[in-house]
Chain A
Amino acid sequence: MTEKELISKLKDLNSIKPRKEWVFSVKMQILGSGGNVVPDKATYKERLFDGFKSLYPLSYQRKLAYSFSVLMLTFVGVLGFAQYTVPGDVLFSVKKITEQGQASLTGESEIKASVENFKKRSQDLAEIVKNKKETNIPSAVQEVKDAAKSLTDALQKDPKLAKEIALEIKENKTFLDLSGEANIEADIKEASDILYKTIDAQMIADLEATTLTEEQQVLLEEIKDLYSQDKYSDALEKILLISVNSEAKVDVGSNVQSEPENTTQNEVKE
């Protein structure tokens, strides 16, 4: 064999080429993820080691599950604890978010949610005053004012609900009771006045449009006087008095009317 033939045979070794899929996969492993991936292990020993390494994600998943459980328990704990907070506390915002979430889940209307919010904030304020948490009072008063404002806004959008709101507020004595507290009365007077004024104006208009007894007419005049003197809270109490009395009379009236029908029915039966 000549040297030329030998070199020619040597050059024939250039036909040795790697598998295309291997070339591609190694490139992907090295460059595909920023070069942080270890390439294929060829030996059984290394593959066995890889097998054990593949079990690692299981322990990782377990750790993840524990972490998630702890997170959930903490979350539930925070939510539960937040229910006992009052305005001015750190977690009070969590309580408000929870309440808003509950309201949206139960499909409460805006006006209903506003009334509920007003009642709750009033109760919070009452609790703070009762427990003499003076540092919380400014926040609580602000919350009540905000609630009153949003309720007023909702009422202006739908004046027909004035009576319903008036009754709700009457049932929730807290706010009215609080108005007697000297140190907070000035703060909330403005907000409550606006709310009461809105309710009063709508209710007076309603009463004027309905047929009233002489006694109720007198009462309506007194209400108008109180309204003109900016005594909206007193005016509201009297409005509610008329409303409750008139409802009671209507109830009685409906019972009286139903009696003859029953009699007639009895006669027919006989």
Chain B
Amino acid sequence: MNNLNEQFSLIYDQYIEKIYRYVYIKVNSQEIAEDISSKVFLKTWEAYQKDQGKIDNPKAFLYQVARNMVVDHYREKGRTQIVSADHIGQIQDHKTNLYEKAALHSDIEVVKSAIQNIKKEYQDVLIWHYLEDMPADQIAAILDKPTSTVRVMIHRGLKALKGELSQES
């Protein structure tokens, strides 16, 4: 049991930032990102305990769980963000806030907002490939698609993002 704890502790330390970042970019809310990320790790931990630590690829598993939870989140909320009053200042509408963000010369905010306006499947592959340095074959394993398809998705995703950014600017 302690051994499992130690092993999962290493996995947690290795991936918590990546999973949080992936979820945060997708939901654009710190509160929701924290909620979903914690659930992702809890669910993974439960699976990890159940299989006695025999999850072949924890990284792929975590991203798969995170991806499904984000999908569930949007399905439940109907893309409507519900956040507490404490975080009212952090409410960020994808399109309407772009002008303000551009005014603040925040490239990160602009890119983040732009990525949220492209197709979900492109979001995933761009984040995984360029932010997490995940090769196409690993992404293919997570999405259960051929590697060539993933490469095409990356290419189209970049194109869509570029179009979105040029549209905003």
Contact = CB atoms under 8 A, between A and B. Distances in A.
Nearest to A18: B20
A205 interface: no
B32 A10 contact: no
B49 A3 contact: no
Interface string A1-28: 1010011011111111111001100110
A1 B169 CA distance: 11
Contacts of B30: 19
Contacts, number: 108
Contacts of A26: 16, 34, 37-38, 41
A16 B107 CA distance: 13
A253 interface: no
B108 to A, nearest CB: 5
B161 A6 contact: yes
A43 interface: yes
Nearest to B133: A11
B87 to A, nearest CB: 10
B161 A17 contact: no
A189 interface: no
Contacts of A43: 35, 82, 84
Interface stretch (B5-13, B55-63, B145-153): B5-13
B67 interface: no
Contacts of B38: 26, 29-30, 39-40
Contacts of B82: 43-44
A42 B34 contact: yes
Nearest to A34: B1
A9 B17 contact: no
B126 A10 contact: yes
A34 B8 CA distance: 11
B21 A38 contact: no
A41 interface: yes
B154 to A, nearest CB: 11
A23 B38 CA distance: 9
> Which bracket fits the contact residues of A?
20 to 34
Q: Is the interface of A mostly helix, strand, loop or mixed?
A: helix
B32 A42 contact: yes
Contacts of A14: 21, 131
B108 A15 contact: yes
A3 B162 contact: yes
Contacts of A80: none
A101 interface: no
Interface in A32-69: 34-35, 38-44
A26 B39 CA distance: 9
A47 B127 CA distance: 31
A38 B131 contact: no
A26 B1 CA distance: 19
A18 B17 CA distance: 6
Given A1-B165, A6-B165, A16 B49 contact: no
A244 interface: no
B101 to A, nearest CB: 13
A31 B12 contact: yes
A58 B21 CA distance: 40
Interface string B65-100: 000000000000000001010000000000000000
Interface of B: 1, 5, 8-9, 12-13, 16-17, 20-21, 24-25, 30-35, 37-39, 41-42, 45-46, 49, 82, 84, 107-108, 111-112, 115, 126-127, 130-131, 158, 161-162, 165-166
Given A13-B111, A26-B38, A27-B16, 9 more contacts: A17-B20, A23-B16, A29-B38, A30-B41, A39-B35, A39-B41, A40-B38, A42-B35, A44-B84
15 contacts: A9-B107, A9-B108, A13-B25, A13-B111, A13-B127, A15-B108, A16-B20, A16-B112, A22-B34, A27-B16, A30-B41, A31-B5, A34-B1, A39-B38, A39-B41
Which A-B residue pairs are the 7 nearest by beta carbons? A42-B35, A39-B38, A18-B20, A10-B130, A26-B38, A9-B111, A16-B21
